[in-house]
Copies of this chain bind each other. A is one copy, B any other.
């Protein structure tokens, strides 16, 4: 598969500078060859323009004098991503069809133009809409709904009544609708609280490999449109996440927490149950959130502090032991001064 630069410029609405040529793939500045296109997004790497062998570079107009053949755009990262997608789509083309090695319940409803791989199991009354692809070993319980153009990678598991919007991507090993962690103390031990709700994902949600989303205890666990979740993230029962939020790998969100829109939770963050994370909040890696957070807050640490305060504190930690000994010395010093002063007073008093 290949494109002329002029074709790419047309499709993306970019300006082509330099001679038109045929491009066969995408690569980094360091590794691209003369038939590949690359990009410059971070000014830190501008020096690589001198040494790259790339046939063309997507870059911002301010660097147009630094390379001969380029596509000019104010957002080179976004436009390069779109070029990558053009190549990726070409590469992936697969004929629609349902493997004879899949198990489809007779009451399931599979629309046209769907691809179902071997060893997929689909329960009663589940609907898979047109254009969706379900990879091998995925297990869809009864009464699920998979929107249009979804992609479920191998071994994904959906509990009964899970609902996905359109263009949802679930990577391998994702589990939607596992039971929430709810137990009531009885005289004889812990008794399970039955988990009867479900999971609802809006359109354009993407969830990374081996992440898990518990079903609501009652009602729903909900993830809003366009929210992106990385690998090995855990989302508890009845959590609600707004639109376009970003949840990085290995984050855990406890039951009944509410996360707003455009929130960013960095890697390995933990969020306690029943809390609210306001829209636009940004939480630093490894933080532990144990109280609700206001919209737009930037916090880090556990318990969390203002991100700047966290950095100041963190930079001082190593001085703590030394401070302790200096403090002790100072106390002794003060005692000595006081004693000296008092003895002096005593000695001086008779003179007065």
Among B139, B182, B331, which residue has its beta carbon within 8 angstroms of that of A137? Answer: B139
**Which residues in chain A, 41-88, are within 8 Å of chain B measured between CB atoms?**
75, 77-78, 81-82, 84-85, 87-88
A121 touches B136 (CB 8 A): yes
Which of A15-23, A107-115, A309-317 contacts the other chain? A309-317
CA A252 – CA B196 in complex, angstroms?
28
Q: Mark A178-197, 1 if CB is under 8 A from B, else 0.
A: 11011111100111111010
Known: A139-B136, A249-B181, A285-B270. A323 touches B321 (CB 8 A): no
A145 on the B face (CB < 8 A): no
A212 on the B face (CB < 8 A): yes
Known: A78-B184, A196-B88, A285-B288. A175 touches B179 (CB 8 A): no
CA A210 – CA B172 in complex, angstroms?
10
Q: Tell me, rounded to whole Å, the shortest Cβ–Cβ distance linking A46 to chain B.
A: 16
Q: Tell me, rounded to whole Å, the shortest Cβ–Cβ distance linking A28 to chain B.
A: 6
A218 touches B157 (CB 8 A): no
Instruction: Select from chain B the residue with minimum beta-carbon distance to A314.
Output: B303
A133 on the B face (CB < 8 A): no
A321 touches B327 (CB 8 A): no
Known: A139-B154, A196-B84. A352 touches B347 (CB 8 A): yes
Instruction: Select from chain B the residue with minimum beta-carbon distance to A250.
Output: B252
- In the bound complex, residues from chain B placing their C-beta under 8 Å from that of A82 are 191
Known: A231-B178, A234-B249. A192 touches B157 (CB 8 A): no
Known: A77-B184, A208-B181, A314-B303. A344 touches B345 (CB 8 A): yes
Q: Tell me, rounded to whole Å, the shortest Cβ–Cβ distance linking A168 to chain B.
A: 12
Q: Mark A284-326, 1 if CB is under 8 A from B, else 0.
A: 0110101000000000011101000100111111111101101
Q: List 18 A-B contacts (CB under 8 A).
A: A27-B218, A78-B184, A78-B185, A84-B193, A84-B218, A103-B136, A118-B121, A139-B154, A155-B173, A171-B179, A181-B208, A190-B246, A234-B250, A285-B288, A315-B321, A319-B324, A337-B338, A340-B341
Q: Which A residues are closer than 8 A to B by beta carbons? A: 26-28, 31, 75, 77-78, 81-82, 84-85, 87-88, 91, 99, 101, 103, 117-119, 121, 135-137, 139, 153-155, 157, 159, 169, 171-173, 175, 178-179, 181-186, 189-194, 196, 204, 206, 208-210, 212, 214, 218-219, 225-226, 228, 230-232, 234, 236, 243-244, 246, 248-250, 252, 254, 267-268, 270, 272, 285-286, 288, 290, 301-303, 305, 309, 312-321, 323-324, 326-327, 330-331, 333-334, 337-338, 340-341, 344-345, 347-348, 351-352
What 4 A-B pairs are tightest by C-beta distance, nearest first? Answer: A178-B209, A139-B154, A121-B136, A88-B194
